[in-house]
Copies of this chain bind each other. A is one copy, B any other.
Amino acid sequence: MQTAVDTWTNSTTAPTSARLLEIFRSMMTARLLDEKLAALYRAGKIHGGVFLGKGQEALSAALGQALRRTDVFAPLIRDGAGRLAFGETVVEALRSCLGSPQGPMRSRDGNVHRGRPRDGYLPMISHLGAMISVVGGMLLSRRLRGRRGDIGATCIGDGGVSTGAFHEAVNLAAVEKLPLVIVVANNHYAYSTPIEKQTACRSLVDKAVGYGVQGHTADGTDIVDCCKVIGEAVNRARAGEGPQLVVAELLRLCGHGEHDDANYIDRRLKETTIGRDCLDVARETLQERNIMDAEAIAQLRAEITREIESAVQQVIKEGGPDPFAHDWCALATRRLADPPL
């Protein structure tokens, strides 16, 4: 790494096979689910848009897997894999994307804007950077109530780092020394905008020192490195060392949304290491390490495909909401709702 930041860390803790396997399963599921979502979108079954995580599954799943169910997780657009690793089911993901009234967002919100706050799983609002401080507040609350040991984790892109919301929230977390892991997926583009138009710094991890937090970098295409670096950051946060900023380098191997062909992505970048498909890399790693052979992987793939297909059938059968029976009250305190005008 190019910077001389002394908070730089690089653990060598080797991830266990069990962890890699779990991560791999989430990655594979996310990839196949994304493909299905894209197909549903093209078939007109999903309105609005679908936003995919192709190429970012290793990083995302490594994070979701590193968390405990009592932790707080606020994923972002490209974190289908992390959501699954944190415990979301395929059915639940589909319910949100298809707008099912049985999903956690009850048809009111959907696609990537899904979560279950009561389970520490936060539904993002679209405004980039806005969820970071919310996670911070949850951690602060737990500290105040004497609940220790939980951490929070949240994701952002190279573009989202330019928001004032990111700055304020990371700074506040540092001041309060909150156990927060912020994972920046530097996929070198924010929609079509290349990173040179987003920041002039040499590496986004150079921001760590300015916030007084610990910084880490990871190869976002390598399941093992993601697992190690994120594991390390999570451990440090849990140990009370304050916020951890993880910057992973990778590429988005798809459009910003299914509508976008991403032809703005520099071909030369695609040919570098960060242009690798993390799922291929993971597959090879698992085979090399004799965790899974090609046949087992193919079997897993088939199994997941079946799971997704049956989930799609189920969710489509469940049907949409009844707009006339819908409860149009934005307040928890019903008596304070203004009468309909």
A239 to chain B, nearest CB (A): 17
Contacts of A285 in B (CB 8 A): none
User: Quick check: is A87 within 8 A (CB to CB) of the other chain?
Assistant: no
State the CA gap A163–B172 with chains docked (Å). 11
Contacts of A4 in B (CB 8 A): 4, 6
Tell me the A158-178 residues at the B interface (CB within 8 Å).
162-168, 171-172, 174-175, 177
Contact string against B for A residues 190-219, beta-carbon threshold 8 Å, 1 for contact and 0 otherwise:
000000111111100011111111000000
Copies in the complex: 2
State the CA gap A166–B4 with chains docked (Å). 25
State the CA gap A70–B60 with chains docked (Å). 51
Chain B residue with the shortest CB-CB distance to A166: B167
Chain B residue with the shortest CB-CB distance to A198: B175
Contacts of A6 in B (CB 8 A): 4
Q: Is the CB of B212 within 8 A of A210?
A: no
Q: Is the CB of B209 within 8 A of A210?
A: yes
State the CA gap A164–B168 with chains docked (Å). 6
Of the listed residues A3, A166, A209, A213, the one surrounded by the most CB atoms of chain B closer than 10 A to its CB is A209
Q: Is the CB of A3 within 8 A of B209?
A: yes
User: Quick check: is A82 within 8 A (CB to CB) of the other chain?
Assistant: no
Give 5 A-B contacts (CB < 8 Å), ordered by A residue: A162-B168, A164-B168, A201-B212, A202-B212, A209-B210
